[in-house]
Structure 1
């Protein structure tokens, strides 16, 4: 080093050691403290809950900043225009700051919203490694800048570690929020199918193609338990019978007289159009093939090899990849459901409750009920079902030991339609956990110590259609006020189902 630069270097070193080094060591000390603090405090301090819920907002800042820092450092190795110490130091400093804030908020969310399990802990540990990695990276960069040395190997090692930890932490966070298979689920369709596929020429036009299309896009709203528009579309026999509307879904030989074809051809926005707005409609190919099948007698024995119309054959060829994929998904879902049913029945037998397929949901989800007399059933018993929460559509916990904190776990049942909390200790303090359930329509709070103020939480329940409040201490004036603001929600002052 040139001697005339030596005092300048010493001055930089002194400034780094006196001012910047202590600041950069503080986050590392903080992360070490967090590592030693307990996870299971489960505090419900309102301020901590409020601050913790900033975590989903804050976490995007360090992700973007760390990636930008890495990009500038790597590009700077090949292009001097990107080798700007002022910009890199600013990005590193911002990354350290926002990572620290995001982790602080995440820890508060972790303990105040009672997150448990390995996913939550791994997400937290990954965040600490990310925070520690970017802090040490900044520390080394500042040290090398003070020494007026080029970026060293150690800096790249810690920056790489930070990026790997960031990717892992993000994956754990996504899995925690959306489910463990959130990232891999879309790739299932790319895997080789284990289904023994028919020779295309041996396929039946109804069983293998038309029925698959109807099952995928129509049967969820047109089955024995949910006959929207009085149309049944879940079997060949049902298609040919008239429902309450006296209109047949399919009239053999007459596509234009078939209610199925009438509905799918209605313009978007029409209240009778099928499927309704927001759901994927039949493609042009699917409509043409179903119309052709009806026009040719709508027989269940009509084979694909009998089709001579070249335009229909071309449409069928275009449809086959989607048909195979839909068949794979239908059978895969059926297999998963049957496996879940066996495991759920075993858990239910051990805990003394009843679990059965929900007939109101076409037996695609499950219904759980307490037996009489009800067994001891509280937080621990409820959590035994946690791997299967997405499979439940109706839950009755009447006369159980569940309390407000347990509503946090019930909020993970994203397919829940009906929830019975009759004769429990629920005061309503935990009702906000349930407000974002997209399908919850019926809530039974009869004979609970529901507090007046907590009834107002139900104003935020977007899908709620019916609430039972019989035997609760809630004042009539408050019920009247609730009905005034949510007139579409029926308030039932009867005991209701259990």
Structure 2
């Protein structure tokens, strides 16, 4: 015979089961809170699991907002008070929040995240998860007592949503930069930086040059003259390149190479800007053409322009020009702050930090001084917060090992990497395969193993690799050349930069 349980006893057991089940996420969050925040591991499995975090996190965000909406609607209108729906939403929310936080923690400890933004994002997630779990417990307690949800419940619900907003902001800032939300507002609040009266702005120096700086100068400057075209100064615009053509021919936009290039159809090799980069707007096209047609005077001010069409274009462009000027000044300030911080870190490390002229001084180069000082994992990790600022790195004759390529793989703007005379076997080369701009890799005088050379086959943009003094078999090198003819294999020591 089955033992008879009175309904009250069954409900009591169900209540205890729910309480115990909901205590589990809170116990997990407290455990994560007490674990060292800067724990680090390089397990490929943990990296794989952690990278599900960006896919999962949208579920708890939507569910928290949906649960809040149903609870509030039920408070305002009894027709929306549907406990079975709200319980289902709460249960799903608590589950997906727990899964998202666990995946986020694995990503945090395994994918080289560090710094205040990452920590604040992590702690905000723990607070959000804990608060929504307490909400569910309070909701169940109120229903078991046939009571309405009280102020404590709604306080935790408000805390959940506030914490969710903060955590989401930290996550967005971590992914896209700290100014991700504020950047579009720069043009609305231009008073935060010094701005000229628009009528006093010089047409070239303040407006045309801003357009060129934003869209063109990165590829057309004294250090990187793409297509033999210099656009970084007024004098350069009027100078003839090796082709004998001028970027700007005052009074004649049709003969000006600048206008010829921007008018080329999409997909043309010489079109400016190239495919994948933001092109000029219709107003910017018209402004450049009219400025050149009217003599390309560097001294004329906006308020002195008589041409009605040019004035109309200028008025439409001014908000965008102000935003671009703000961004240029903001980037300059951030670059100067980064340079000061990098130079402080480099002090005593035997490392030289300098702006990369080939990248128009928008990124930095790092190289060892001579004679090289000890430089290994800990010294490299000291630059973690500034990895996106490096375009050129030379770590020749250092203590760098294959595992350290995991960190170098975070330098997303890296173009040139020198690792000659290190102990690399090539086992860590897969860490660099997703670098979108890496063009030159120097592995001369390393104990590179034959099998690991094949990792370079998956590199996105590699154009040149130095392999002099490595123990690679000649047939392996030839097979590599055959399969990757677009990568120049150079059997020379190569420069140290």
Q: CA deviation at 1:157?
A: 2.3
Q: CA deviation at 1:394?
A: 0.8
Contact 1:9–1:148 at 8 Å: present in 2 too?
A: no
Q: 2:433 aligns with which of 429, 432, 435?
A: 435
- Three-state SS of the structure 2 residue aligned to 1:350 is coil
- Three-state SS of the structure 1 residue aligned to 2:348 is helix
Once the two structures are superposed, residues 178-201 of structure 1 have per-residue CA deviations (whole angstroms, 9 ceiling, x without a partner) of 334433343333333354433444
Contact 1:221–1:228 at 8 Å: present in 2 too?
A: yes
Q: CA deviation at 1:139?
A: 1.9
Contact 2:114–2:385 at 8 Å: present in 1 too?
A: no
Counterpart CA distance in 2 for 1:477 and 1:156 is: 71
Counterpart CA distance in 1 for 2:132 and 2:400 is: 43
* 1:70 maps onto 2:68 in alignment: yes
Equivalent residues in 2 for 1:2-13 (5 A)? 10-11=8-9, 13=11
Equivalent residues in 2 for 1:337-356 (5 A)? 337-356=335-354
Deviates more, 1:369-378 or 1:23-32: 23-32
Equivalent residues in 2 for 1:255-266 (5 A)? 255-266=253-264
Counterpart CA distance in 2 for 1:84 and 1:299 is: 72
Q: 1:99 aligns with which of 74, 84, 97?
A: 97
Once the two structures are superposed, residues 311-361 of structure 1 have per-residue CA deviations (whole angstroms, 9 ceiling, x without a partner) of 222222222232233233323333333343344334334322111121111
Counterpart CA distance in 2 for 1:199 and 1:33 is: 57
Query: TM-score, normalising length from structure 2?
Result: 0.90
Contact 1:16–1:146 at 8 Å: present in 2 too?
A: no
5+ residue gaps, structure 2, are: none
Once the two structures are superposed, residues 271-296 of structure 1 have per-residue CA deviations (whole angstroms, 9 ceiling, x without a partner) of 22211122222222222222222223
Root-mean-square deviation (Å): 2.6
- Determine the structure 2 residue equivalent to 1:83: 81
Deviates more, 1:172-181 or 1:274-283: 172-181
Q: CA deviation at 1:370?
A: 0.6
Contact 1:395–1:420 at 8 Å: present in 2 too?
A: yes
Contact 1:393–1:416 at 8 Å: present in 2 too?
A: yes
Counterpart CA distance in 1 for 2:78 and 2:453 is: 63
Counterpart CA distance in 1 for 2:473 and 2:248 is: 53
* 1:271 maps onto 2:259 in alignment: no
Once the two structures are superposed, residues 51-105 of structure 1 have per-residue CA deviations (whole angstroms, 9 ceiling, x without a partner) of 2332222222222222211111112222334321111111111111112222222
- Three-state SS of the structure 2 residue aligned to 1:47 is helix
Contact 1:134–1:162 at 8 Å: present in 2 too?
A: yes
Equivalent residues in 2 for 1:80-479 (5 A)? 80-479=78-477
- Determine the structure 1 residue equivalent to 2:53: 55
Counterpart CA distance in 2 for 1:334 and 1:40 is: 31
Contact 1:12–1:146 at 8 Å: present in 2 too?
A: no
Q: CA deviation at 1:415?
A: 1.9
Deviates more, 1:7-16 or 1:367-376: 7-16
Deviates more, 1:186-195 or 1:487-496: 186-195
Counterpart CA distance in 1 for 2:380 and 2:167 is: 28
- Three-state SS of the structure 2 residue aligned to 1:189 is coil
Q: How many residues align?
A: 492
Contact 1:193–1:328 at 8 Å: present in 2 too?
A: no
Deviates more, 1:253-262 or 1:173-182: 173-182
